A and B are shown apart, each in its own frame.
Chain A
Amino acid sequence: MTPAQSNARRFLRSVAAVFLKDWRSELRTRYAISALLMFVVTTIAIILFSLGSEGAPADVLSGMLWVVIFFGAMSGLSRTFVMEEERGTTLTLQLLATPAAIFFGKLLFNLVLVFALNAVTVLLYAGLIAGFTIRNVPAFLVTTVLGSIGFAAAATIIAAIIARANTRGTLYPVLTFPILLPLLLTVINATRLASEGAFIEEAYGEFQILVSYIVVIVVISYMLFEYIWKD
């Protein structure tokens, strides 16, 4: 094995270990999972009661789905870094691994969390909200997957930034909103197209924006993370 292969293997092992640590910690404390589920169930119930039997246009329902996902994600995704700061284990991680390994391990954890959150949200939302139907399932699946990755990537780097702040609770959604705005507008539009039964080709433009957004956020996060993490 060449030194480069050996380093890559160690890096991947390190990333996996950070993810597994957070995952096992989450299974024991259930902090993020409980917060996310409670939020999603409560919000969907409120939407359900508000709409009653009235229903709403497809673009409004698509927007409301992503509102639920946005605030649900905000209630749990910052935990990955805030938890380390509160427990005083940030320094421990700094001494154990390179910033890149920590970042990608945390990103992986948030990805899994967002995918789980979105799966539950979409199932509950589609099952309970009358009038929300998906006529183009493949386009909706691509939108949800890309949207989830974008959410997790942006949420991870912002969580790393706000973990050091005193007002982290309120700062997180405030700081995240402008950064997630391009993503939110795109996924809402793509969801509307999928809901209306548009051909998948019509959503290609949205998919390109989502992929570009993910690439930009991940690359910038990778470049900035060492400065955020160290000082």
Chain B
Amino acid sequence: MNGPIRMRGEGLAKVFNRRTIFSGISFSISAGATLLITGRNGSGKSTLVKIISNVLTPSAGTVTMDEGGHLLEGHWPDHVGMVSPYLQVFEEFSALENLHIAAGVRGLTFEPERAEALLARVSLFPRRNDPVRTFSSGMKQRVKYAFAMLHRPPVLILDEPMSNLDAEGTGIVRQIMEEQNREGLLIVATNDLTDIGHFDVRIDLNDARAK
């Protein structure tokens, strides 16, 4: 990192088939802050998360990210890590192979020690060489955390962070969130406020739907 990271969204809106999902969303958060996105089912939480992750184009508005005042353009994969129920890992490969693939596709050198440490952190080290398709949904969710953190992203985006996790997994994720909060920027989309210790900025999509 060359400086504190900051993310700003201005006038974000998304329209699907002439139906406005949300409009007029603006926010600004800096490193050390947590952005919470809430809203009832179908209010567009996941859509907003995808727009913030730069994998979906908004119908209006912009999302920008700068690092120490230097605008980051076209390098978002380097800066964002994401965990969500609809994000899948490559199930025919093992957990360790998945991390190898992730590093390679990012164009980075694979660090086996880091990958193994991450898998140990999410309590998957003993199963690191087993194909992911043999894992339970909770174990797959843990693989997604290792996958998202491999490149030390300054921005960690978590959509329904505790989905499928048991008590141990929930504890691990809380710890990850606390660490991310100290070092970078955390964005959480959930309706369960017990998932998240605290937040600095909140976007409630129930208020953002176009009438």
Contact = CB atoms under 8 A, between A and B. Distances in A.
Interface of A: 9-11, 13-14, 16-18, 20-21, 24-25, 28-29, 87-89, 91-98, 101, 105, 230-231
B10 interface: no
Given A96-B77, A230-B56, A17 B88 contact: no
Contacts of B102: 96
A21 B90 contact: yes
Nearest to A18: B105
A183 B101 CA distance: 35
A95 B80 contact: yes
B87 A11 contact: no
Contacts of A16: 104
Contacts of B163: none
A14 B92 CA distance: 20
Q: Is the interface of A mostly helix, strand, loop or mixed?
A: helix
Interface of B: 50, 53, 55-57, 74, 77, 80, 82, 86-93, 101-108, 147
A92 B89 contact: yes
B162 to A, nearest CB: 20
A202 to B, nearest CB: 45
Contacts of A95: 53, 55, 77, 80, 82, 87
Contacts of B82: 95
Nearest to B76: A95
Nearest to B50: A91
Q: Is the interface of B mostly helix, strand, loop or mixed?
A: loop
Contact of B104 (A20, A25, A91, A94): A20
B105 A96 contact: yes
5 contacts: A89-B89, A91-B50, A91-B86, A92-B147, A231-B56
B103 to A, nearest CB: 8
Contacts of A92: 87-90, 147
Given A95-B53, A95-B82, A230-B55, A89 B104 contact: no
Given A92-B87, A230-B56, A230-B57, A97 B92 contact: no
A105 B104 CA distance: 12
A226 B174 CA distance: 35
B102 to A, nearest CB: 6
B88 A21 contact: no
A21 B104 contact: yes
Given A88-B86, A95-B80, A101 B107 contact: yes
